[in-house]
Amino acid sequence: MGMNVETVTTAPPKEISPSGMKVIWREIRKDRMAMISLVVLGIVLIAVYSAALFIDKDAVARVDVFSIYMDPSSAYWLGTDYGGRDVFKQLIIGTRNSFSISLGITVLTALIGLSAGLIAGYFGGWTDNIIMRVIDFVITLPQMMFIIVLVTIIPKFTVTTFILIMTLFLWTGKARLIRSKVLSERELDYVHASQTLGTPHWKIILYHILPNVSSLIIVNFTLNLAGNIGLETALTFLGFGLPESTPSLGTLIAYATNPEVLEYRWWIWLPASVMILILMLSINFIGQALKRAGDARQRRG
Amino acid sequence: MTLLKVEDLKVHFPIRGGFFRTVVDHVRAVDGVSFELEEGETYGLVGESGSGKSTTGKAIVKLNKVTSGKILFEGQDIANYSSRQIKPYRRDIQMIFQDPYSSLNPKKRVLDIIAEPLRNFERHSPGEEKKIIQDYLDKVGLSPDSIYKYPHEFSGGQRQRIGIARSLTLKPKLIIADEPVSALDVSVQAQVLNFLQDLQEEFKLTYLFVGHDLGVIRHMCDRMGVMYRGRLVEEGTSKEIYNNPQHIYTKRLIAAIPDLEPSVREEKAIARQKVSEEYEQSYSKYFDEKGRAYDLKPISTTHRVALP
Ligand SMILES: Nc1ncnc2c1ncn2[C@@H]1O[C@H](COP(=O)(O)OP(=O)(O)OP(=O)(O)O)[C@@H](O)[C@H]1O
Ligand SMILES: [Mg+2]
């Protein structure tokens, strides 16, 4: 026990202040919607991800001509689709896929955008110039056309390829956002002070500037997470996303393009739609609370 | 012994404009400034806002790129050193910043703020480090318990002391103090200034003291240089500048010092009026046709003035 206390007091100092996390937590607790959202999101995600472990993915994707368009029953909780595939299991796997895609895109774009934004903003000059020209180039590309072309030419379209393609186009916004914040941050005297104190540039970027832009990143991260779920669903719905062999919320909702399904078999597409609504709303509510935590004037806690 | 010698220092910032963001002109923030600092002395740089005082100080600590000229520290020209070459000099030349609110990282504890330079140059166990930091905190008059607090828990004056403690930990030879008290309450100003003087004695420091308040500069400095539009217009001991100003700009600067004594107020107002008139009339005598001050010419062994 004595040893324990000893190690706590002499532990190397934390680089990031704990007060930031505390403020966020307090803000979420003060906001009932955010708190409910956090609980709901937590339950849904834990349920979906653990249930997906017990579902045989290939079996779900396999066509079974003997059980086409079955109504909900104890064997098929949400019935089956035109290929005789279990809709409930597709919903589980689909939710997992959709969320993973969104998370993957958000994490990757955040990493790339953050690195590019920090470097461009901190060093400025020609480094900034090159990075900004690359961003301008990516932005001027006709994104939709590229996505459609890539979807058509890539033979085995999976979750990973989808994440990579979307990341290719979506990191630029984050990079610009971070860059503009870093540009103003690096003019502050605490950065100048670090420079005159002999702190290397990479340390200034990671340990001084990054913590000061972290609230911006966290807020942007959550709001993007919600946005990217919608993006995946929309693209898949339009037929430029995942194939039916990889179920996602988008593929399930796409069944509703068949008027017969839309009208008489709501159990195929409605649960997926509700799931999207739940995910996006709850993430957004949490994001709003985080946003307030990042801005002292709006705080409730 | 000369510790720092600045020779014909120029710092020009490009102004970009037009469609291709090309350089269309330069801001001549510092345009040919020369001065010397003896070891242990305090040299003041005064001048109105935008005259290039901070830029001069920042060029010496390499926060601004030097366009041309020399910065000799102990005889070594460090003006064009790369960031790797300059590293050993970081120990010897430190800076105290103007704004105590933005010069401390709001996300760091006092311990981490003051220990930053130490961690860059020396190896200490966490226990030793803590002890060193507490010693310095004690020296700048802050409670040693404050090491786990964050900057926002302190007042402006206390923050400036934290900044001062940070600049002292490496035992520098030269400290550039960029208006260290201008953001502080008048009641705290004197306290911090006296404290800087005490430290100077204790640590044998040399100060380059930047400010726009002539009263403060006179109180602090042995010698001073008066800056105007990126150039020195007059240089001398504090007494010379104050009692015998030669350049019209210096005269105006001194006339502008407010006087608290009611008896001389009237007198002062008249004197100010006179200087103001003289300034209008003889402006062209003191500046060349481009409005640039002339080079400094010695009028005594210590006193130099920019005259044609
Ligand atoms: N990074 C920069 N880029 C462009 N111009 C700059 C830059 N830094 C300073 N300047 C310009 O250089 C001139 C001198 O600025 P400086 O900060 O040295 O003035 P100062 O004498 O310290 O004034 P103050 O008393 O207000 O602090 C100003 O005209 C300013 O606009
Ligand atoms: Mg200044």
**B231-237/B223-228 β-pairing:** antiparallel
The number of CA neighbours under 13 Å toward the Cβ of A14 is 12
User: What is the Cα–Cα distance from A202 to A198, expressed in whole angstroms?
Assistant: 12
Of A229, A220, A226, whose CA–CA distance to A96 is shortest? A229
Cα-based torsion angle of the residue sequence A215, A216, A218, A223 in order, rounded to the nearest 10 degrees:
140
Q: Is B13 in the pocket of ligand 1 (CB under 6 A)?
A: yes
For ligand 1, atom 20: residue with the closest CA: B50
User: What is the Cα–Cα distance from B264 to B278, expressed in whole angstroms?
Assistant: 21
Given ligand 1 and candidates B26, B27, B179, which is best to mutate, with the most ligand atoms within 8 Å of its CB? Answer: B27
State the nearest Cα–Cα gap between B132 and chain A, in angstroms: 15
State the nearest Cα–Cα gap between A195 and chain B, in angstroms: 8
% of chain B beyond a pLDDT of 90 = 45
Q: Is B54 in the pocket of ligand 1 (CB under 6 A)?
A: yes
pLDDT at residue A162, as a whole number: 86
Domains of chain A: 12-58+87-293 (1.10.3720.10)
- Ligand 1 atom closest to B47 (CA): 21
Q: How big is chain B, counted in residues? A: 308
Q: ipTM score here?
A: 0.88
pLDDT tens-digit map of B140-194 = 888 988 898 889 889 888 999 899 999 989 889 999 999 888 877 887 788 888 8
pLDDT at residue B209, as a whole number: 94
Cα-based torsion angle of the residue sequence A108, A112, A113, A114 in order, rounded to the nearest 10 degrees:
100
A190 in Cβ contact with B105 (< 8 Å): yes
Cα–ligand 1 centroid distance for B52 (angstroms): 5
% of chain B beyond a pLDDT of 70 = 100
pLDDT at residue B77, as a whole number: 93
Give me the residues near ligand 2 (ion), CB cutoff below 5 Å: B 54
Q: Would you tell me which residues 121-150 of chain A have a C-beta closer than 8 angstroms to some C-beta of chain B?
A: none
For ligand 1, atom 19: residue with the closest CA: B50
The type of residue at A164 is L
Extents of the domains making up chain B = 2-92+170-306
pLDDT tens-digit map of B98-124 = 888 899 998 888 999 999 999 999 999
Average pLDDT score over chain B: 89
Q: Is B158 in the pocket of ligand 1 (CB under 6 A)?
A: no
Outline where chain B has alpha helix (H).
Answer: 53-60, 83-90, 110-121, 126-139, 156-168, 186-203, 214-220, 238-243, 248-255, 262-286
pTM of the model: 0.83
B2-92+170-306: CATH class: alpha beta
User: What is the Cα–Cα distance from A283 to A269, expressed in whole angstroms?
Assistant: 21
The number of CA neighbours under 13 Å toward the Cβ of A68 is 6
CA distances from A63 to A80, A86, A233, B290 (A): 10, 10, 23, 87
The type of residue at B229 is R
pLDDT in tens, chain A (301 residues): 344 443 333 334 444 444 567 777 888 888 889 999 999 999 999 999 998 888 887 777 787 777 777 788 877 778 888 777 888 888 999 999 999 999 999 999 999 999 999 999 999 989 999 999 999 999 998 888 888 888 788 877 788 888 998 899 999 999 999 999 999 999 999 999 999 999 999 999 999 999 888 888 888 898 899 999 988 888 888 888 788 788 888 888 888 888 888 888 888 889 999 999 999 999 999 988 888 877 666 666 5
pLDDT tens-digit map of B25-40 = 889 999 999 999 999 9
User: What is the Cα–Cα distance from B53 to B229, expressed in whole angstroms?
Assistant: 9
pLDDT at residue A7, as a whole number: 37
pLDDT tens-digit map of B30-88 = 999 999 999 999 999 999 899 999 999 999 999 999 999 999 999 999 999 988 899 89
